[in-house]
Amino acid sequence: MVQNAIVKKIMKDGVAQVSLLRQMECGLHCDGSCEGCSQKPKDEILALASNPIGAKPGDHVEVEPSVGHNIGVSVLVFLLPCVGLGAGYVLGQSLLQLSEIAALGTGVLGLAAGFIPAFLMNRAMTQSKAPEFRILKFLA
């Protein structure tokens, strides 16, 4: 999904910080009479974008999300705790021959064990400064 953005500053060679313009029904082309507009975004949304076209600060550009492994990693982050829960329960019920309540306890331990790698992967993705978007073209 492409979005409109304004280049705020150049971070390093080939990477720019952009302010994403949220798509609204009115297009936010106000004449000043809609000061109380509830649709107007309150905060600026900043993101990093690869800049293959050489956009400069102040340029209005069109950006698209970078194609990458973000979806796969996100699914994995959500799936690991669920798999841990199921594996912990099955381990407690089948292999350890525990009662129902005790098997639920091993399931909770498996859930906690699944959260650890998920948490670490999420933290690594958050701390990486890789561009989230790619600048496609200038807007007139």
Question: In which band, very low, low, confident or very high, does the pLDDT at 28 lie, cut at 50, 70 and 90?
Answer: very low
Query: Do 80 and 61 fall into the same domain?
Result: no
Domain range holding 90? 70-127
Query: Do 111 and 58 fall into the same domain?
Result: no
Query: Do 13 and 26 fall into the same domain?
Result: yes
- What predicted TM-score, i.e. pTM, was given to this entire model? 0.55
Q: Which amino acid is at 53?
A: I
Q: Is the pLDDT of residue 32 over 80?
A: no
Query: Do 12 and 57 fall into the same domain?
Result: yes
List pLDDT tens digits, range 86-132: 999 999 999 999 999 999 999 999 999 999 988 888 788 777 777 78
Estimate the crossing angle of helix 100-127 against helix 70-90, to 10 degrees.
160
Query: Do 63 and 7 fall into the same domain?
Result: yes
pLDDT in the model for residue 125 = 73
Total number of domains constituting the chain: 2
Q: Is the pLDDT of residue 20 over 80?
A: yes
How far is residue 80 from each of residues 48, 68, 106, measured CA to CA in Å? 28, 20, 15
How far is residue 21 from each of residues 14, 36, 117, 133, measured CA to CA in Å? 21, 18, 34, 13
- Read off the tokens for 75: 């699914």
- Read off the tokens for 44: 């600026």
DSSP code of 92? Answer: I
List pLDDT tens digits, range 50-98: 999 999 999 999 999 876 656 777 788 889 999 999 999 999 999 999 9
Query: Cα–Cα distance between 60 and 115 in angstroms, integer?
Result: 41
Choice between 46 and 87, residue whose per-residue pLDDT is larger: 87
> Residue 33's domain is classified under what CATH number?
2.40.50
pLDDT in the model for residue 136 = 92
